[in-house]
Amino acid sequence: MQVITTCAEMSRLSWAAERPLGLVPTMGALHEGHLSLVRQARTDSAAMAASIFVNPTQFGPNEDFATYPRSLERDLELLQAEGADLVFVPPPHEVYPDGFDTWVEPGSIAEGMEGAARPGHFRGVATVVAKLFTIIRPDRAYFGQKDGQQVAVIRKMNADLNLGVDVVTMPTIREPDGLALSSRNAYLSAEERETAPAVYRALCAAEDIWRRGERDAGRIQRAAHNILSREPLIDAVDYVSTVDAETMQPLETVPDHRPVMIAIAVRLGPVRLIDNVVLG
Ligand code: PAF
Protein backbone atom coordinates (compact mmCIF):
# COMPACT_ATOMS: atom_id res chain seq x y z
CA MET A 1 0.00 0.00 0.00
CA GLN A 2 1.37 3.42 -0.95
CA VAL A 3 0.52 6.56 1.00
CA ILE A 4 0.63 9.65 -1.23
CA THR A 5 0.49 13.29 -0.16
CA THR A 6 0.73 15.29 -3.41
CA CYS A 7 -1.81 15.67 -6.22
CA ALA A 8 0.90 15.20 -8.88
CA GLU A 9 2.09 11.89 -7.43
CA MET A 10 -1.47 10.67 -6.88
CA SER A 11 -2.36 11.41 -10.51
CA ARG A 12 0.79 9.69 -11.74
CA LEU A 13 0.16 6.53 -9.72
CA SER A 14 -3.56 6.45 -10.62
CA TRP A 15 -2.73 6.64 -14.32
CA ALA A 16 -0.34 3.71 -13.89
CA ALA A 17 -2.76 1.66 -11.73
CA GLU A 18 -4.53 -1.42 -13.00
CA ARG A 19 -8.12 -0.93 -14.15
CA PRO A 20 -10.85 -0.85 -13.06
CA LEU A 21 -9.70 1.51 -10.30
CA GLY A 22 -12.14 1.93 -7.38
CA LEU A 23 -12.05 4.99 -5.09
CA VAL A 24 -13.44 5.42 -1.58
CA PRO A 25 -13.29 9.11 -0.60
CA THR A 26 -13.34 9.64 3.19
CA MET A 27 -12.56 12.15 5.89
CA GLY A 28 -10.91 9.42 7.97
CA ALA A 29 -12.00 8.26 11.46
CA LEU A 30 -12.93 5.08 9.63
CA HIS A 31 -15.69 2.81 10.94
CA GLU A 32 -17.51 -0.27 9.63
CA GLY A 33 -19.59 1.93 7.31
CA HIS A 34 -16.45 3.11 5.50
CA LEU A 35 -15.02 -0.41 5.56
CA SER A 36 -18.12 -1.77 3.81
CA LEU A 37 -17.37 0.67 0.96
CA VAL A 38 -13.71 -0.31 0.95
CA ARG A 39 -14.57 -4.02 0.79
CA GLN A 40 -16.99 -3.50 -2.09
CA ALA A 41 -14.42 -1.40 -3.96
CA ARG A 42 -11.81 -4.10 -3.36
CA THR A 43 -14.15 -6.82 -4.67
CA ASP A 44 -15.14 -4.81 -7.78
CA SER A 45 -11.74 -3.43 -8.77
CA ALA A 46 -8.30 -4.47 -9.95
CA ALA A 47 -6.82 -1.57 -7.98
CA MET A 48 -8.31 0.23 -5.01
CA ALA A 49 -7.65 3.74 -3.76
CA ALA A 50 -8.96 5.60 -0.72
CA SER A 51 -8.58 9.23 0.24
CA ILE A 52 -8.41 10.65 3.75
CA PHE A 53 -8.93 14.39 3.80
CA VAL A 54 -10.88 16.40 6.37
CA ASN A 55 -12.15 18.92 3.84
CA PRO A 56 -12.19 22.40 5.43
CA THR A 57 -14.50 23.90 2.80
CA GLN A 58 -17.49 21.71 3.71
CA PHE A 59 -17.53 22.87 7.34
CA GLY A 60 -19.34 26.07 8.35
CA PRO A 61 -17.62 28.67 10.55
CA ASN A 62 -19.34 27.35 13.70
CA GLU A 63 -18.95 23.65 12.85
CA ASP A 64 -16.49 21.05 14.12
CA PHE A 65 -13.63 21.23 11.59
CA ALA A 66 -10.97 21.74 14.28
CA THR A 67 -12.27 18.94 16.51
CA TYR A 68 -13.44 16.48 13.83
CA PRO A 69 -12.12 13.04 14.93
CA ARG A 70 -8.76 12.24 13.37
CA SER A 71 -7.07 8.82 13.65
CA LEU A 72 -4.69 8.60 10.72
CA GLU A 73 -2.44 5.80 11.94
CA ARG A 74 -5.35 3.51 12.76
CA ASP A 75 -7.09 4.42 9.47
CA LEU A 76 -3.98 3.44 7.51
CA GLU A 77 -3.75 0.12 9.36
CA LEU A 78 -7.38 -0.62 8.58
CA LEU A 79 -6.93 0.25 4.90
CA GLN A 80 -3.81 -1.86 4.68
CA ALA A 81 -5.68 -4.81 6.23
CA GLU A 82 -8.48 -4.39 3.62
CA GLY A 83 -5.96 -4.48 0.78
CA ALA A 84 -5.94 -0.86 -0.39
CA ASP A 85 -3.30 -0.13 -3.03
CA LEU A 86 -3.18 3.67 -2.87
CA VAL A 87 -4.15 6.04 -0.06
CA PHE A 88 -4.24 9.76 -0.80
CA VAL A 89 -3.66 11.88 2.31
CA PRO A 90 -3.03 15.43 1.08
CA PRO A 91 -2.36 18.36 3.41
CA PRO A 92 -4.92 21.20 3.02
CA HIS A 93 -2.63 23.50 0.96
CA GLU A 94 -2.15 20.72 -1.59
CA VAL A 95 -5.89 20.64 -2.32
CA TYR A 96 -6.48 24.36 -1.78
CA PRO A 97 -3.25 26.20 -2.68
CA ASP A 98 -2.99 29.96 -2.12
CA GLY A 99 -5.29 31.75 -4.53
CA PHE A 100 -7.64 28.77 -5.03
CA ASP A 101 -10.85 30.37 -6.29
CA THR A 102 -12.92 28.00 -8.43
CA TRP A 103 -15.95 26.20 -7.01
CA VAL A 104 -18.50 23.59 -8.01
CA GLU A 105 -21.88 25.03 -7.02
CA PRO A 106 -24.70 22.45 -6.94
CA GLY A 107 -28.16 23.74 -7.83
CA SER A 108 -31.64 23.03 -6.46
CA ILE A 109 -30.67 19.51 -5.36
CA ALA A 110 -28.60 21.12 -2.58
CA GLU A 111 -31.13 23.72 -1.44
CA GLY A 112 -33.20 21.78 1.10
CA MET A 113 -32.42 19.70 4.17
CA GLU A 114 -28.63 19.63 4.81
CA GLY A 115 -28.13 22.40 2.25
CA ALA A 116 -30.53 24.67 4.15
CA ALA A 117 -29.10 23.76 7.57
CA ARG A 118 -25.46 24.03 6.48
CA PRO A 119 -25.02 26.84 3.93
CA GLY A 120 -22.05 26.21 1.63
CA HIS A 121 -21.66 22.60 2.79
CA PHE A 122 -22.49 20.98 -0.56
CA ARG A 123 -20.40 23.49 -2.48
CA GLY A 124 -17.44 22.26 -0.42
CA VAL A 125 -18.37 18.60 -0.90
CA ALA A 126 -18.96 18.94 -4.67
CA THR A 127 -15.73 20.88 -5.16
CA VAL A 128 -13.52 18.43 -3.28
CA VAL A 129 -15.14 15.36 -4.86
CA ALA A 130 -14.77 16.90 -8.34
CA LYS A 131 -11.09 17.49 -7.56
CA LEU A 132 -10.63 13.93 -6.27
CA PHE A 133 -12.32 12.52 -9.39
CA THR A 134 -10.08 14.67 -11.59
CA ILE A 135 -6.83 13.89 -9.77
CA ILE A 136 -7.49 10.15 -9.42
CA ARG A 137 -9.76 9.42 -12.43
CA PRO A 138 -11.37 6.37 -10.80
CA ASP A 139 -13.65 4.08 -12.78
CA ARG A 140 -15.97 3.78 -9.78
CA ALA A 141 -16.40 5.70 -6.53
CA TYR A 142 -18.25 4.48 -3.45
CA PHE A 143 -20.44 6.47 -1.04
CA GLY A 144 -22.80 5.53 1.80
CA GLN A 145 -26.58 6.00 1.61
CA LYS A 146 -26.39 7.38 5.17
CA ASP A 147 -25.56 10.78 3.61
CA GLY A 148 -28.37 10.42 1.08
CA GLN A 149 -28.45 14.03 -0.11
CA GLN A 150 -24.65 14.04 -0.47
CA VAL A 151 -24.76 11.03 -2.81
CA ALA A 152 -27.54 12.66 -4.85
CA VAL A 153 -25.48 15.87 -5.16
CA ILE A 154 -22.39 13.89 -6.22
CA ARG A 155 -24.34 11.83 -8.76
CA LYS A 156 -25.82 14.99 -10.30
CA MET A 157 -22.44 16.75 -10.41
CA ASN A 158 -20.82 13.69 -11.97
CA ALA A 159 -23.52 13.60 -14.66
CA ASP A 160 -23.73 17.36 -15.27
CA LEU A 161 -19.94 17.77 -15.55
CA ASN A 162 -19.45 14.53 -17.56
CA LEU A 163 -16.89 13.27 -15.08
CA GLY A 164 -17.60 9.71 -16.21
CA VAL A 165 -17.28 7.98 -12.85
CA ASP A 166 -19.62 5.13 -11.95
CA VAL A 167 -21.00 6.38 -8.60
CA VAL A 168 -21.92 3.40 -6.39
CA THR A 169 -24.21 3.88 -3.38
CA MET A 170 -23.84 1.38 -0.55
CA PRO A 171 -26.43 0.66 2.16
CA THR A 172 -26.22 2.36 5.56
CA ILE A 173 -24.46 0.26 8.19
CA ARG A 174 -26.21 0.32 11.58
CA GLU A 175 -25.48 -0.60 15.17
CA PRO A 176 -27.64 -3.51 16.42
CA ASP A 177 -30.09 -0.95 17.91
CA GLY A 178 -30.49 0.79 14.56
CA LEU A 179 -28.23 3.83 15.01
CA ALA A 180 -26.49 4.59 11.70
CA LEU A 181 -22.71 4.47 12.02
CA SER A 182 -21.09 7.91 11.88
CA SER A 183 -17.72 9.27 12.96
CA ARG A 184 -19.58 11.91 14.98
CA ASN A 185 -21.37 9.30 17.16
CA ALA A 186 -18.16 9.39 19.22
CA TYR A 187 -19.28 12.78 20.60
CA LEU A 188 -22.46 11.35 22.21
CA SER A 189 -22.65 10.93 26.00
CA ALA A 190 -23.92 7.57 27.33
CA GLU A 191 -27.45 8.98 27.78
CA GLU A 192 -27.48 10.62 24.36
CA ARG A 193 -26.26 7.37 22.83
CA GLU A 194 -29.30 5.63 24.37
CA THR A 195 -31.61 8.21 22.81
CA ALA A 196 -29.95 8.18 19.36
CA PRO A 197 -31.70 5.06 17.92
CA ALA A 198 -35.00 6.99 18.13
CA VAL A 199 -34.04 8.53 14.77
CA TYR A 200 -34.08 5.15 13.03
CA ARG A 201 -37.22 4.10 14.95
CA ALA A 202 -38.89 7.27 13.63
CA LEU A 203 -37.85 6.41 10.06
CA CYS A 204 -39.19 2.87 10.52
CA ALA A 205 -42.52 4.24 11.82
CA ALA A 206 -42.79 6.45 8.73
CA GLU A 207 -41.89 3.58 6.42
CA ASP A 208 -44.37 1.35 8.21
CA ILE A 209 -47.42 3.55 7.60
CA TRP A 210 -46.30 4.01 3.99
CA ARG A 211 -46.20 0.20 3.66
CA ARG A 212 -49.72 0.05 5.04
CA GLY A 213 -50.89 2.32 2.21
CA GLU A 214 -50.46 5.90 3.44
CA ARG A 215 -49.30 8.22 0.63
CA ASP A 216 -49.76 11.66 2.21
CA ALA A 217 -46.28 12.98 3.05
CA GLY A 218 -47.56 15.11 5.95
CA ARG A 219 -49.11 12.11 7.69
CA ILE A 220 -46.03 9.95 7.01
CA GLN A 221 -43.80 12.65 8.54
CA ARG A 222 -46.12 12.97 11.55
CA ALA A 223 -45.59 9.29 12.32
CA ALA A 224 -41.86 10.02 12.58
CA HIS A 225 -42.35 13.24 14.59
CA ASN A 226 -44.49 11.32 17.11
CA ILE A 227 -41.55 9.05 17.93
CA LEU A 228 -39.02 11.89 18.12
CA SER A 229 -41.22 14.06 20.32
CA ARG A 230 -41.14 11.42 23.08
CA GLU A 231 -37.40 11.92 23.52
CA PRO A 232 -36.58 14.72 25.98
CA LEU A 233 -32.86 14.73 25.11
CA ILE A 234 -33.54 15.62 21.47
CA ASP A 235 -33.07 19.41 21.51
CA ALA A 236 -34.51 20.07 18.06
CA VAL A 237 -35.83 18.26 15.03
CA ASP A 238 -34.22 20.17 12.14
CA TYR A 239 -36.39 18.38 9.60
CA VAL A 240 -38.37 15.30 8.72
CA SER A 241 -38.61 15.46 4.91
CA THR A 242 -40.15 13.38 2.17
CA VAL A 243 -38.25 13.97 -1.08
CA ASP A 244 -37.73 12.51 -4.52
CA ALA A 245 -34.70 10.24 -3.97
CA GLU A 246 -32.96 11.48 -7.13
CA THR A 247 -33.72 15.22 -7.25
CA MET A 248 -34.16 15.84 -3.48
CA GLN A 249 -37.26 17.94 -4.24
CA PRO A 250 -39.95 17.82 -1.49
CA LEU A 251 -43.10 15.82 -2.16
CA GLU A 252 -46.61 16.25 -0.80
CA THR A 253 -47.75 12.86 -1.99
CA VAL A 254 -45.61 9.75 -2.33
CA PRO A 255 -45.73 8.53 -5.95
CA ASP A 256 -45.64 4.80 -6.64
CA HIS A 257 -43.41 5.05 -9.71
CA ARG A 258 -40.35 6.92 -8.36
CA PRO A 259 -37.96 6.21 -5.48
CA VAL A 260 -38.69 8.38 -2.46
CA MET A 261 -36.43 9.17 0.49
CA ILE A 262 -37.55 10.06 3.99
CA ALA A 263 -34.78 11.96 5.77
CA ILE A 264 -34.40 13.17 9.34
CA ALA A 265 -31.96 15.52 11.08
CA VAL A 266 -32.07 16.11 14.83
CA ARG A 267 -29.85 17.82 17.34
CA LEU A 268 -28.88 15.64 20.27
CA GLY A 269 -26.42 17.26 22.67
CA PRO A 270 -23.35 18.31 20.67
CA VAL A 271 -24.27 16.23 17.60
CA ARG A 272 -26.52 16.66 14.58
CA LEU A 273 -27.68 13.17 13.67
CA ILE A 274 -28.87 12.56 10.12
CA ASP A 275 -30.36 9.41 8.70
CA ASN A 276 -32.76 8.33 5.95
CA VAL A 277 -34.60 5.44 4.38
CA VAL A 278 -35.51 4.96 0.74
CA LEU A 279 -39.05 3.61 0.38
CA GLY A 280 -39.34 0.50 -1.65
O1 PAF B 1 -18.73 11.77 3.33
C2 PAF B 1 -17.60 12.24 3.53
O3 PAF B 1 -16.79 11.71 4.29
C4 PAF B 1 -17.19 13.53 2.83
O5 PAF B 1 -18.26 14.40 2.72
C6 PAF B 1 -16.51 13.29 1.45
C7 PAF B 1 -17.47 12.64 0.46
C8 PAF B 1 -15.28 12.42 1.63
C9 PAF B 1 -16.06 14.64 0.86
O10 PAF B 1 -15.19 15.32 1.70
Annotation says 31 is catalytic: no
Number of H helices, E strands in the chain: 10, 9
Please determine, for residue 269, whether its predicted confidence score (pLDDT) is greater than 90: yes
185 confidence band (pLDDT: 50, 70, 90): very high
Cβ–ligand 1 contact at 170 (below 6 Å): no
Q: What is the pLDDT of residues 77-134, one digit of tens each?
A: 999 999 999 999 999 999 999 999 999 999 999 999 999 999 999 999 999 999 999 9
Say yes or no to pLDDT of 274 above 90. yes
pLDDT higher than 90, residue 206:
yes
Which of 25, 35, 174, 200 minimizes the C-alpha distance to 95? Answer: 25
Q: Measured from the CB, is residue 38 less than 6 Å from ligand 1? A: no
Amino acid at 150: Q
Q: State CA 56 to chain mean position distance.
A: 15
144 Cα: distance to centroid of ligand 1 (angstroms): 10
* Rg (the chain; Cα; Å): 19
pLDDT at residue 271 tops 90:
yes
239: nearest Cα among 204, 194, 268, 274: 274
Q: How do residues 1-57 score in pLDDT, each as one tens digit?
A: 999 999 999 999 999 999 999 999 999 999 999 999 999 999 999 999 999 999 999
Q: pLDDT-derived band of residue 159, with 50, 70 and 90 as boundaries?
A: very high
* Omega within 30 of 0 (cis) for the link into 20: yes
Q: Which of 125, 153, 155, 168 to mutate for ligand 1's pocket (most ligand atoms within 8 Å of CB)? A: 125
Give the number of the atom of ligand 1 that is nearest the alpha carbon of residue 27: 3
pLDDT of residue 280 exceeding 90, the answer is no
Nearest one of 60, 64, 67 to 124, comparing CA atoms:
60
Among 31, 34, 93, 225, the active-site one is 34
pTM: 0.98
> Is any atom of ligand 1 closer than 6 Å to the C-beta of 275?
no
Contact 268, 193 (CB under 8 A): no
